[in-house]
Chains A and B, each alone.
Chain A
Amino acid sequence: MSTSDVQRLLAEFVAEDRGEVPAEPRRYLEQVEGRDREELAALIDAYLQRAPRRRVAPAAMSREARDASDRVERSLFGDAGAWPLLLPRLRERAHLPRRVLVDQLAERLGVDGQQRRVADWYHRMETGLIDPDGVADRVLEALAALLGTSARRLREASRAIAPLRAPLDAAAYARTAAPDAELAQTARPGGAEPGEGTGADDAAAARVDALFTGGRDAQP
């Protein structure tokens, strides 16, 4: 291989990339080795840095791009800072399905039997529909232990964005945010909103609600 081969591969990459489907760098990089590969990678990277935005409709996004868009949207416009980006990512890395995470979280919080209510509040954390200052340190400590991070980092992430304006209400956000496939599976707790107790479960539900709305020092 030579510089001219690297230049030819770059030109072929650029030509393909100007078509409808983005070119795959690895397919070109696999054709060279060692310093040639580094040179080609640097040139492709420099090309991609300068490539203009593709003029495509959101409907054309891949599933990964759609998921990313939903999470960025919830982080940017929601009330919980970067939690909608960070929490699902940590959960995925820990290979914890949300149902399992919620069960373990309820157990750690000492509110067994209130999994559905915990699930709903956790759903709000992942979707940015919660005031993070209302969430108890105890909740973040339990979550951090399950997700392999620290409560301090979770708290900091919730403050990653300075609010621009008064928070929009959850109903308005729910109308505009695209549903996350996994989150959409969440059943609402008996049709009740968090914060609305239901019959004999009132006391237990109130304890859970306090953990997610009562402030940093709240205890169940």
Chain B
Amino acid sequence: MPFTPRSEHELIALDDDALVAHLRDAQAAGDRGQAALALQVLIAGHWDNVKRRVAMRVAREDVDAVASDVIFSAVRNAGGFEGGSVGELQSWLRTITARRIADYHRRAAAEPALVALATAGGGDGDEPGGGVELADRSQEGAVEVRDVVDRVLAGMSELHARAVELHVLAALPAAEVAARLGLGADNVAQIASRFRRRLRTALEGSEAP
């Protein structure tokens, strides 16, 4: 099927995976302008979220570099540039952000003066290619804390985890979450309370801040 260019407005309206697929199709069709526009829309929309995640754990002067590397690696992987399937950008962003922050602190310990860029198959993670960084070790223990929410959620049922995501993490009212998931509002509040207790316990079991 011939490649169909889209307006900027149309690209902004696409979801992530459709946007990545368009980027990939544009590049395959040799339409550099469309590929670049799709990439810019992706980065414009994700930059602040990635940067803020990175900024909570990485020295200020290195935030932009790590965030750029995250975006680059995520687009490469979600775009199938490494030979895999196309899609799941959000998932790649989540995974790679956590990994790059961990890499940043780990490599600082090994090579404090060196900015390293891992190559295909050579990084600490299992996604192909990518990887920066350097840093001080002051946040090394805290990096592990980042996974604690996911660990606690993984210990809950899928329905309860979804309730936490909507009520606690997305701050939706308990009544709205209850209606959406077919639960009672009181039940949603109890689930949230249980999650918070477990999160506290998990944090207390992790390295002291």
Contacts and interface: CB of A to CB of B under 8 A. Distances in A.
Interface of A: 3, 7, 10-11, 14-15, 22, 24-26, 29, 34-35, 37-39, 41-51, 53-58, 60-62, 64-65, 67-69, 71-73, 75-77, 82, 85-86, 89-90, 93, 148-150, 153, 156-157, 159-162, 164-165, 168, 172-173, 175-177
Given A45-B149, A53-B45, A56-B12, A153 B116 contact: yes
Contact of A159 (B30, B119, B149): B119
Interface string B44-56: 1111110111011
B117 interface: yes
B43 interface: yes
A42 B145 contact: yes
Contacts of A175: 32-33
A10 B169 CA distance: 8
Nearest to A44: B56
Contacts of B197: 3
B94 interface: yes
Interface in B43-83: 43-49, 51-53, 55-56, 64-65, 67-69, 71-72, 75-76, 81-83
A77 B36 contact: yes
Given A56-B45, A76-B76, A46 B169 contact: yes
B52 A25 contact: yes
B115 A90 contact: yes
B46 A50 contact: no
A72 B200 contact: no
A19 B119 CA distance: 39
B170 interface: yes
A49 B53 CA distance: 8
A38 B45 CA distance: 27
Contacts of B47: 61-62, 64-65, 68-69
Contact of B71 (A14, A37, A68): A68
A7 B209 contact: no
A7 B149 CA distance: 14
A23 to B, nearest CB: 8
Contacts of A56: 12, 44-45
Given A58-B37, A72-B72, A160-B120, A77 B171 contact: no
Contacts of A61: 40, 43-44, 47
- The size bracket of the interface on B is 35 or more
B115 to A, nearest CB: 6
Question: For the complex, would chain B's binding face be called helix, strand, loop or mixed by DSSP majority?
Answer: helix
5 contacts: A3-B200, A11-B171, A57-B41, A65-B44, A157-B117
9 closest cross-chain pairs (CB), A and B: A53-B45, A58-B40, A156-B119, A46-B149, A65-B47, A68-B68, A14-B171, A22-B48, A69-B43
Contacts of B204: 35
Most buried by B among A47, A53, A60, A168: A53
A15 B209 contact: no
A89 to B, nearest CB: 5
B209 A34 contact: yes
A7 B94 CA distance: 22
Contacts of B45: 53-56
B8 A57 contact: yes
B44 A50 contact: no
A64 B67 CA distance: 10
B148 interface: yes
Contacts of B116: 149, 153
B117 A43 contact: no
Contacts of A10: 168-169, 171
Contact of A168 (B32, B41, B170): B32
B55 to A, nearest CB: 7
